[in-house]
Amino acid sequence: MTDTLDLPVEPASTGLDALQALRRTRQLHRLGNLDWFEAAYRAYLLGIFGGGGVLWISSSIKDEAVSSDVAADVLRHGPAVLGLFVALAFLAGIRGGAQGGPVALEGADVAHVMLAPIDRRRALMRPAVQRLRSALFMGVAFGAIVGQLAARRLPGSLVAWAAAGALYGATLMAVWVGAALLAHTLRVPRWLATLLGLGALAWQFAAVAWHVPGPFTSFGSLALWGWRQQTTDLVAVALTLIGVVVGFVLLGRLSLDALARRSALVAQLRFAVTMQDLRTVILLRRQLNQEHARRRPYVRLPVAKSGSGFTATVWRRGWHGLLRFPVSRLLRMAAIAGAMGVLQASVVRGTTPAFLGTALLGFVLGLEVMEPLSQEVDQADRADALPVERGELMARHLAAPIVALLPFALIAGVAAVITLGGNSDAIVPVAVIAIPTVIGAAMGGVVSIVRDAPNPASNSQQAFMPPEMAGFTTAIRLAWPIVVSTITTVTVLLPRAAWRGGESATGAAIRSAVGVALVIAFIIYWVKVRDRVHQRIRAFMDEGRSYTAQQRSSA
């Protein structure tokens, strides 16, 4: 009989091997029968054609090299200004970490893995690395694109500027991830995180305005390594790496409640992205950031008098929705408007591609401010129950948001004048074009919101649109709102051309404002008659099918 005490004792399993096997199995099930050669080939084509397209578009924009005086100003003020973006990333990261970010797990991981008797830090290492990896990829790609654009106007080679931009973008995103991990693991209160982030941002603003040392100036200096290199800037990289490493060491301190809350929201967010439902994506992002509207408006408007009409009711309802915006949302909108002004001024100073950034920011601003219209689209059943056409109702909901954009246009105009060096000759043209540009750029958000409304001609569209065109129509559907915002921001090239040619910039600004006003009027009219046009198309298609059926039956 064998003595059981002589049998070898297997070491106790930590469960990590089982977790890795479980994740590999889930990955195989998710990928299915994916052909890796085909996936690699698609990635190769995307890299070749995507990178080649960026280089071709960039080379087609013939911006002149900056003068020696402008180059000296960039070298003197550039690090502090670029440090502002790092300060914003720090603010977003530390606030996001205090609200439960940046790691997001699937519901099964939270319910089973996080409650299993295994090392939580090692279990969370993989999703945290994936979050950092995706953030770094975005930062490197965007930084390299901006860097090669800068190389066309500033001293230095294209490769050096692209590498410097990639380094700056990677560092910026690493600051965001590191700040979020530290704020979450150290359980920083939300109010303290906001105070620290705003304090750092204000300090960096002071560095730009009064040329004092800023906390993120060295981070911004990394972006200029395509021109000149300073060894002291590596301190910023070292501090970023230390913050990320410490955050990874403390992964075991992540809040389980926060992970559970974010898991449900992230699952819905991924589904909304798959379905291209931008409105739902925005709402879920606000829930992830714990951004809630106020229960009561800042100012309550008086009730419309009897007989004042339906327009007064819609006007009051729209303003009550806008006056419930939280302070964080208003500050974000003000920052977007200021950035729009800076970018438009950069276009005037010779950086033509900056108008694309203005278009994207204006599109986002439109999604933020058009809350009354969004609520009406989200509750389409209530709108259909009212004794007014839905298009007419949606068009009336544009009045309050358009008026609410006026102070943000003022912020954009002030930022543009400051960026232009406070030139008094720029005040009048900026005042003429600021309001229509901001409102016109926000019209892209209007198109995106109204596009998500139920389409009465959806069946007929499927009838006369071949399946082979589905991908093309989807691309057009996604790009159309951005195109609208771009059309209204590219008009800044007219005042720039007049200014360079010695003509009246004010007259060119007036022509640009008139053109943008026509685009705004067209979008409002489209919102009003969209349903009517779709119904006529549907009636026309139904009549055609009815006539065809009659011909076939008689034959």
pLDDT, one tens digit per residue, over 151-181 is: 888 888 889 999 999 999 999 999 999 999 9
The owner of tokens 């001609």 is 457
Please write the tens of the pLDDT for every residue from 373-408: 888 887 767 766 677 788 888 889 899 999 999 999
Confidence class for position 462, pLDDT limits 50, 70, 90:
very low
Mean local confidence (pLDDT), 64-72: 83
Count CB atoms within 10 A of the CB of residue 200: 21
CB–CB of 397/376 below 8 Å?
Answer: yes
CB–CB of 311/388 below 8 Å?
Answer: no
Q: Which parts of 314-402 are beta strand (E)?
A: none
Retrieve residue 438's tokens: 């901001």
Handedness of CA 82, 183, 337, 446 (dihedral sign): positive
Residue 276: the pLDDT is 64
CB–CB of 356/486 below 8 Å?
Answer: yes
In this prediction the pTM is 0.84
Task: Answer whether residue 37 shows pLDDT above 80.
Answer: no
Which residues contact residue 304 at a Cβ distance below 8 angstroms, ignoring those fewer than 6 apart?
Answer: 312, 313, 315, 316
Distances (CA, A) of 133 to 23, 138, 321: 18, 9, 38
CB–CB of 147/162 below 8 Å?
Answer: yes
Which residues contact residue 21 at a Cβ distance below 8 angstroms, ignoring those fewer than 6 apart?
Answer: none
The owner of tokens 């060096």 is 421
Please write the tens of the pLDDT for every residue from 341-382: 999 998 988 888 888 899 999 999 999 999 888 888 877 677
Confidence class for position 306, pLDDT limits 50, 70, 90:
low
Retrieve residue 86's tokens: 């790092």
The owner of tokens 């992830």 is 288
Structure-model confidence comparison of residues 218 and 276, the more confident one: 218
Confidence class for position 461, pLDDT limits 50, 70, 90:
very low
The owner of tokens 């074009």 is 433
Residues 95 and 486: their CA atoms lie apart, in Å, by 31
Could you say which DSSP state residue 362 is in? H
Please write the tens of the pLDDT for every residue from 534-545: 788 888 887 878
CB–CB of 323/299 below 8 Å?
Answer: yes
Residues 89 and 142: their CA atoms lie apart, in Å, by 14
Residues 340 and 430: their CA atoms lie apart, in Å, by 12
